[in-house]
Structure 1
Amino acid sequence: MQLVYAFDAYCGWSHGFSPTLREVVSRHPDLPVEVVSGGLFTGPRRVPIREFGYVQGANARIAELTGAEFGEAYERLIADGSFVMDSEAAARGVAALRRAAPDRAPELATALQQAFYVDGLSLSDPATYRKVAAEAGLDADAVVAAFESPEADRAAADDFHRAAELGVTGFPTLLAVEDDRVTVLARGQATAEEVVRRLAAVRVP
């Protein structure tokens, strides 16, 4: 059995789920975790953030329910409404970080969300990946090179396909996958206790 975490680095609810993910992973070090980018803001949805009028109201709700932090630098970044959330670029970055440290993919995914939602850094900017990689003790030059490589484009497309193949329709979604059996452990908001309880039920022989 493995866990599959389908998220989008530009999804506020995924940001709110980060503590739950970290706790579940820490409680189950025996379970491999596959991190997959979902592609929330691609194609016609890749537009200035002002076109999503619900963002700040949604963020307030996420903060209320999960305790997630939305930093002042992030608020400044989106203040004039011109910032464009590009999930394809974010997925390339997730792929580059995942390639550098596959076993740390959940940790790096949550670090990337911290970079955007707290530090106000664009996930389309190579400098963001340099910073996240350096803070994680990874080879920052290699991560940036991977982010800018054609392989990252293919990895992002593969991630979007993988999420769709697993039937993921919203983010975040945490799945338990064993052979052909796919069990939803969380979709949207969930506490670590809820996820651990569901996981225990799935793992009963």
Structure 2
Amino acid sequence: MKLVYVFDAYCGWSHGFSGTLREIVSRHPDLPVEVVSGGLFTGSRRTPIREFGYVQGANADIAEQTGAVFGEAYERLIADGSFVMDSVAAARGVAALRGAAPDRAAQLATAVQDAFYVDGLSLSDPATYRRIAEDAGLDADAVVAAFESPETQAAAEADFRRAAAAGVRGFPTLLAVDGDRVFPLALGRATADEVDRKLAAQRGH
């Protein structure tokens, strides 16, 4: 059995799920976790954040319901409304980090979200991934080179196709995959205990 985490680095509810994901990973070190970027802000949705008028209100709800932190640097980044969330660039960054340390993909995904939502760093900037890689003890030069490579662009697009093929309609989605069986453990929001109960029920089959 493995877990498949489908998220978008620019999705506030995915940021809210980070604590649950980290807890699940620590409770189940035996379970491999694959991370797939879903592609929330692509194509015509790559517009300045002011076009999404609900962002601050939604973030307040997320913080209240999940305990997630939205940092002052993030608030400054989006304050004038001109920042553009580009899920393609973010997916390339996730793919570059994932390629450097596949067994740590879940932790690196949450680090990417912290870089944006806590530290106010753009996920389109190679320097962001250099910093995340350095903090994680990875080869930062290799990660930045991968971020800018055509192979990583292809990996990001493959992620979007995989998420769509899996029928994922919202982020975050945590799936358990056991052979041909796929079952959802969390859609949008869940505690680690709630995920564990579903996981235990499936493992009992």
Which TM-score band (shorter chain)? Answer: over 0.9
Write the distance in 2 (CA, Å) between the matches of 1:94 and 1:30. Answer: 22
The superposition leaves residues 35-92 of structure 1 with CA deviations (integer Å, 9 ceiling, x where unpaired) of 0000000001100000000000000000000010000000000000000000000000
What amino acid is aligned across from residue 117 of structure 1 in structure 2? Y
**Equivalent residue runs for 1:14-53 within 5 Å:** 14-53=14-53
Q: Distance between the aligned counterparts of 1:94 and 1:45, measured in 2?
A: 20
Query: How far did residue 179 of structure 1 move?
Result: 1.8
1:79-130 CA distance string (max 9 Å, x none): 0000000000000000000000000000000000000000000000000000
**Which sections of structure 1, spanning at least 5 residues, go unmatched?**
none
Q: Name the structure 2 match of 1:114.
A: 114
* Distance of 1:104 and 1:187 partners within structure 2: 22
Measure, in 2, the Cα distance between the counterparts of 1:115 and 1:93: 12
SS at match of 2:161: helix
Q: Is the counterpart of residue 4 in structure 1 residue 7 in structure 2?
A: no
**What SS does structure 2 have at the residue aligned with 1:182?**
strand
Alignment gaps of 5+ in structure 2: none
Which residue number in structure 2 is paired with residue 170 of structure 1?
170
- Could you say which residue in structure 1 is the equivalent of 2:187? 187
Q: TM-score of the superposition, structure 1-length normalised?
A: 0.99
Counting only pairs closer than 5 Å after superposition, residues 51-200 of structure 1 correspond to structure 2 as 51-200=51-200
Instruction: Using the TM superposition, give the Cα deviation of residue 166 of structure 1 relative to its aligned residue in structure 2, in angstroms.
Output: 1.0
SS at match of 1:183: strand
Question: How many pairs were matched up?
Answer: 205
Residue 181 of structure 1 and its aligned partner are, at CA, apart by 1.2
> Whole-Å Cα distance in 2 between the matches of residues 40 and 109 of structure 1?
15
